[in-house]
Structure 1
Amino acid sequence: MAQAADSARTVILTVDDDPGVSRAVARDLRRRYGAGYRIVRAESGESALEALRELKLRGDLVAVILADYRMPQMNGIEFLEQALDVYPGARRVLLTAYADTSAAIDAINVVDLDHYLLKPWDPPEEKLYPVLDDLLDAWRASDYRPVPATKVVGHRWSARSSEVREFLARNQVPYRWYSADEPEGQRLLAAAGVDGQRLPLVVTAEGTPLVEPDAPELAAQVGLATTPTAEFYDLVVIGGGPAGLGAAVYGASEGLRTVLVERSATGGQAGQSSRIENYLGFPDGVSGGQLTERARRQAAKFGAEILTAREVTGLEVNGSARVVRFSDGSAVAAHSVILATGVSYRQLAAPGCDDLTGCGVFYGSALTEAASCQGHDVYIVGGANSAGQAAMYLSRGAKSVTLLVRGESLTASMSHYLIQQIEEAPNISVRARTVVESAHGEGHLEQLTLRDVATGQSELVDAQWLFVFIGAAPLTGWLDGAVLRDERGFILAGPDLTPDGRPPAEWELDRPPYHLETSIPGVFVAGDARAESAKRVASAVGEGAMAVMLVHRYLEQS
């Protein structure tokens, strides 16, 4: 008999649209695992996803998900891809006919498929149970236990409440949201002895109340690492976007003592993308959250430390050491540093937007706020891929989505595949040559004034939701006086430091800077923060890996 789960009955979920097959799978599973696991069956992908979401809200564990490949509306691979967002740690099995084995093999890349079983699986003692036993053993041995649900109490139109929810969501911390106006929210406030004016209230899984917590306090209390375990490393990676995660994976896997420092949440702008469809190896696309979580787990597997909610404020040279200083006055040192700080969305300068940020005006928060946009009219500012991906994601539930683009069309800055999808979406429209002139509302966004830049005419529209994806401002202000940057703040490296063939005056070595090396030897840059970078996920990951190769070269010659 398979070993039982440790505590509350953990779930094994099976989904098959054929009622007879569904009952047969559930029967065989109960016979073997019913004493230690709760067997849940569903007869469609949608109903299975609904069941998974309900289990998630209750804080239940799901160990294994078995899905039939041939299902109408949503096949097994499509279902498992969405299930991955709800329970990323669950083991995934696809039930296929012999003719579908090629699809099952493809699913290994799409949904990290753990196994595929050919139907029929009789006798289960030979073809089903050994596979499930191994998967359950692997699941129990892994870090499968989610942090019991943290509770957040706040107001719907509260900027700080929105920031806390986004911080938890992007850091993969399960939480339950309660409005301060609903009975359960009021009960939590009363239990914590907090009035409704000091919000948000966060109650950790252990029952610790946090009133209006800042990011470092929140990170420490919900189990995220915030303090380095050592004082000196081979490599410090600053920034947890694709470039930083790529550098951490390659650095740690090649034996470098590596620590990654992230001020908010791993993934960067890419981590907020609802779907990336042009990333190599994922022909059906992958969400930014999925890609980020896999990369984070991969870096941790190789031994990289990942610190969250640590703001870096300075970079110094102390002999052969490169010292990274934090906002709390502490520091960590290393032989080498990779700057992968990425970029942030530029803020709208239109009157009213600052006051309504987090209260209807959001910067890159489409995933966190999407559920609240159901049936509403949504406006998006921006014409690049991030704006297009957000438009496609929000259009699933919104009444309408309007893209506001300053230029003549989307073709100058958006990938062709996204433009085609937007043109085919019935509830997405594009308003070219249009900008937000001002935002209006009492406590939350209620209206926008839009201006046609060609004619100068303005129009007042009703709007509760505005998502902004404009420009790329490098997060490099803290490097003033440390490394050379261009006039826009992007970091100069390699050939950009030596346009006339001669190193800059600050350069101390006889050799020229390596390709991604900054004006400080041993300090490299990768990804969007680099001057003239490609601003694409794949190129950022590649630069992170290349930077590690150059770190090795630097260390060998030091």
Structure 2
Amino acid sequence: MGTTDTAAAERAAKPVILTVDDDPGVSRAIARDLRRRYSDAYRILRAEAGPQALESLREIRLRGQEVALLLADQRMPLMNGTEFLEEAMDLYPHARRVLLTAYADTDAAIQAINVVDLDHYLLKPWDPPEEKLYPVVDAELDSWHRQERSWRDSVRVVGDRWSSRCYELRDFLARNHLSYEWHPAGEPSGRQLVKAAGADPAQLPLVVTPDGTALTDPTDQELAAAIGIATDPAAEFYDLAVIGGGPAGLGASVYGASEGLRTVLVERQATGGQAGQSSRIENYLGFPDGVSGGQLTERARRQAVRFGTEVLIARQVTRLEPRGSARVVHFADGGRISAHTVILATGVSYRRLGAAGLDEFVGRGVYYGAALTEAPACADQEIYVVGGANSAGQAAMHLSGFAKRVHLLVRGAGLQQSMSHYLIEQIAATPNIEVHPCTEVVGSSGDGHLERLVLRDRNGGGERTVSAAFLFVFIGAEPHTGWLDDVVERDDRGFILAGPDLLTDGRRPRGWTLGRDPYHLETNVPGVFVAGDARADSIKRVASAVGEGAMAVALVHRYLTA
């Protein structure tokens, strides 16, 4: 290979940093400053318009090259910076996104945080770059290198539209922020994939990974391992094991790892928990325009990983065993890890409806939780949402953007007692949401999937049957604590007791061996703490769960240093 060819190959192997600014002088200046510091390890490219930059990205993608960082000016004609970054996400979802703004554009930059999951906004001018530009770029490139990027192309899923296992696989991919293509088995693209993989059409679903590996009806753990998600622990012993990846578990992981504890987070499906499935959270501190649960919890996951938390996905915990000073966590497949301390942040799931026939249609028209992957399929449909709290209201608002009409079914006389005022106002102002108070689902029917619901008027108005292909349920809460039987004390509903709730007439819990009372979030097993929705009498809010995760880590330190 000649010298010219070698140089070209080296350039092609470098990840790209792309800048977009319609001011030629600014465009040359930022490219010059970036080359001065980063040209040894990165290709620095610049464009002077959003469409031109997108064309460059498409060419880079066709060549199979990586893009590490996108810097876009907000004020550009034809396509502003936020619009460019939004389209660029489809080509390079893992590239870090930075918006260049003037002081007057800071409101637009804050809005972009929610629209394109912006990583940073940088005020112009950035002189001197050593103080104002390079630290920002260094941090973003470091985050890019740390994140999991082994899947650059989509996972492809083939199966029946109303297969509950197909829905579970698609939901697993979506909640883990992995792009996928859905191919119904009856369509030409689905049949072609099945034939190319040499799979049996009678044994779907089929999953084809980006490297061409074909998996027939894989378990979540098999799928995770095949696409590069960590499922096996890197060590046998940790300072802190966090069980559950919702807001409480993520909060505990961020604070534990950032404070020097060797921390592992174990999650049975996907980080985020119920909050991660929320289409919009509008009352979380610091996000005046709201933020999707997926965006919020994915940022928290990245933050935890950046501080050194080891995240294990698709691992089912089946038992907790106190063994001397160690706490042993057992997995369903026979594996285990040990830790000095454990934080239980397993959260809750929505209670099942007891209506006749409904269990038959779970994943086939009946969904417990937001099921955001199904929203596009609700287009032009009359859909039903059950529940009167914030989660039901947020789902109704999100689904109203797809469905012809959303029917919100509430057992009580209205929403005022259980839903935030801002959501009630939004629902009232949305013309295709209809609230049905004093209404419950008592029956269902369908041929292979949900087709009809039987509704009852609780005020004695009788029953009626309605056509319905989609039902989303948000009622009550059941904690994931059955695996703690005979080890950790719980109340009669399964929620974990901790701290003062363990004391009876001033007496410490049975089997307690220490010469002190349990700490505030400590269970009856010393060194085992609880945080978030799984704790008895907890406040079911994202902010309080995050706070309890941080508080639990402070108590872990107190336990370890006592």
Q: How does 1:79-478 map to 2 (within 5 A)?
A: 89-101=94-106, 104=109, 111-116=117-122, 118=124, 141=145, 143=147, 145=149, 147=151, 148-478=153-483
1:503 offset after TM fit, Å? 0.9
1:5 offset after TM fit, Å? 5.3
1:57 offset after TM fit, Å? 12
- Please provide the CA RMSD for this pair: 4.0
Amino acid of the residue matched to residue 249 of structure 1?
V
Structure 1 residues without counterparts, runs of 5 or longer: none
**Taking structure 1 as reference, are residues 108 and 444 closer, same or farther at Cα in structure 2, changes over 3 Å only?**
closer
Alignment partner of 1:269: what SS?
A: helix
Aligned to 2:13: 6
TM-score normalised by the chain length of structure 1: 0.86
Aligned to 2:3: none
| Deviations 1:375-410 (CA, angstroms, capped at 9, x unpaired) | 222211111111111111111121111111111111
**Taking structure 1 as reference, are residues 330 and 198 closer, same or farther at Cα in structure 2, changes over 3 Å only?**
same
Amino acid of the residue matched to residue 158 of structure 1?
S
Q: Name the CA distance, whole Å, in 2 between partners of 1:455 and 1:52.
A: 62
1:286 offset after TM fit, Å? 1.3
| Deviations 1:27-82 (CA, angstroms, capped at 9, x unpaired) | 9999999x976969557xxxx9x999999999986555555646999986698689
Structure 2 residues without counterparts, runs of 5 or longer: 1-6
Alignment partner of 1:270: what SS?
A: helix
Q: Name the CA distance, whole Å, in 2 between partners of 1:321 and 1:137.
A: 38
Q: Name the CA distance, whole Å, in 1 between partners of 2:58 and 2:474.
A: 29
Amino acid of the residue matched to residue 487 of structure 1?
D
1:114 offset after TM fit, Å? 2.5
1:116 offset after TM fit, Å? 3.2
Does the aligned pair in 2 maintain the 1:385–1:413 contact within 8 Å? yes
The more displaced of 513-522 and 315-324 is 315-324
Paired residue for 1:486, among 462, 482, 491? 491
Does the aligned pair in 2 maintain the 1:366–1:390 contact within 8 Å? no
Q: Name the CA distance, whole Å, in 1 between partners of 2:19 and 2:157.
A: 29
**Taking structure 1 as reference, are residues 270 and 171 closer, same or farther at Cα in structure 2, changes over 3 Å only?**
same
**Taking structure 1 as reference, are residues 498 and 59 closer, same or farther at Cα in structure 2, changes over 3 Å only?**
farther
1:143 offset after TM fit, Å? 3.7
1:140 offset after TM fit, Å? 6.6
Q: Name the CA distance, whole Å, in 1 between partners of 2:456 and 2:65.
A: 50
- The count of aligned residue pairs is 544
Paired residue for 2:502, among 489, 497, 501? 497
Q: Name the CA distance, whole Å, in 1 between partners of 2:450 and 2:77.
A: 40
Q: Name the CA distance, whole Å, in 2 between partners of 1:379 and 1:53.
A: 41
**Taking structure 1 as reference, are residues 158 and 86 closer, same or farther at Cα in structure 2, changes over 3 Å only?**
farther
1:278 offset after TM fit, Å? 1.0
1:370 offset after TM fit, Å? 1.0
The percent of aligned pairs where both chains have the same amino acid is: 62
1:96 offset after TM fit, Å? 3.9
**Taking structure 1 as reference, are residues 258 and 133 closer, same or farther at Cα in structure 2, changes over 3 Å only?**
closer
**Taking structure 1 as reference, are residues 253 and 547 closer, same or farther at Cα in structure 2, changes over 3 Å only?**
same
Does the aligned pair in 2 maintain the 1:26–1:41 contact within 8 Å? no
Alignment partner of 2:13: what SS?
A: coil
**Taking structure 1 as reference, are residues 99 and 257 closer, same or farther at Cα in structure 2, changes over 3 Å only?**
closer
1:92 offset after TM fit, Å? 2.6
1:23 offset after TM fit, Å? 10
1:481 offset after TM fit, Å? 0.6
Q: Name the CA distance, whole Å, in 1 between partners of 2:242 and 2:383.
A: 37
Alignment partner of 1:92: what SS?
A: strand
1:353 offset after TM fit, Å? 1.2
Does the aligned pair in 2 maintain the 1:13–1:62 contact within 8 Å? no
Alignment partner of 1:372: what SS?
A: helix
Does the aligned pair in 1 maintain the 2:246–2:276 contact within 8 Å? yes
Aligned to 1:551: 556
Matched, 1:536 2:533: no
Alignment partner of 1:467: what SS?
A: strand
Amino acid of the residue matched to residue 120 of structure 2?
D
Q: Name the CA distance, whole Å, in 2 between partners of 1:260 and 1:132.
A: 28
1:86 offset after TM fit, Å? 8.5
| Deviations 1:97-121 (CA, angstroms, capped at 9, x unpaired) | 55334654786799444233549x9
**Taking structure 1 as reference, are residues 26 and 459 closer, same or farther at Cα in structure 2, changes over 3 Å only?**
farther
**Taking structure 1 as reference, are residues 555 and 135 closer, same or farther at Cα in structure 2, changes over 3 Å only?**
closer
**Taking structure 1 as reference, are residues 340 and 534 closer, same or farther at Cα in structure 2, changes over 3 Å only?**
same
Q: Name the CA distance, whole Å, in 2 between partners of 1:25 and 1:201.
A: 50
Does the aligned pair in 1 maintain the 2:143–2:306 contact within 8 Å? no
1:305 offset after TM fit, Å? 0.9
**Taking structure 1 as reference, are residues 510 and 26 closer, same or farther at Cα in structure 2, changes over 3 Å only?**
closer
